[in-house]
Amino acid sequence: MHFIGIDVGTGSARAGVFDGSGRLCGAGSAALVTHRPATGFAQQESGAIWAAVCAAVRAALAASGVSADSVGGLGFDATCSLVVSGADGAPASVDPDDMPGQDVILWMDHRAIDDAEAINAIGGTPLAHVGGCISPEMELPKLRWLKRERPARAGTMISSLRSVFRI
């Protein structure tokens, strides 16, 4: 039996095929493009991320010579980025000019610095779980930014989260 490990980073998606003892049998990668429409913004396309993951896995399997039938499990690791979709599940642009497909606010996006500072100013026990202060690279400041700057998209996301978590 073999296993595939997938790491989705900012610049690429990488995959490795491992045997049961943890030996790397083959690896593959595929590049990702980051869009920077304004200072502090960093966006990607979820469709492009998924295509890169698929390409990296295919390349790793080819390099390993292992049959996909012998793969018993997959593991994923990824950066903390925010993927935004509409009520219909289709990608919702986070781009200031509504460029289609750009539905991911990357971890390194700092458009929500003021929102992080506002959350930190509120204080409270939850901040103890994030090292005492929240970073603009985390999800809550980005969600707060979306709620203010893109209310239609934020409302859809918040409704979706409520239904998933039954809140």
Superfamily of domain 2-78 in CATH is ATPase, nucleotide binding domain (3.30.420.40)
Specify whether the CB–CB gap between 106 and 44 falls below 8 A.
yes
Mean pLDDT of 83-97: 85
Q: Does residue 113 surpass a pLDDT of 90?
A: yes
pLDDT in tens, 45-87: 999 999 999 999 999 999 999 999 999 999 999 887 888 887 7
Determine the angle formed by the axes of helices 139-149 and 113-122, rounding to 10 degrees: 110
CA angle 101, 138, 165 (to 5 degrees): 80
Specify whether the CB–CB gap between 59 and 52 falls below 8 A.
no
Residues of the chain with CATH 3.30.420.40: 2-78
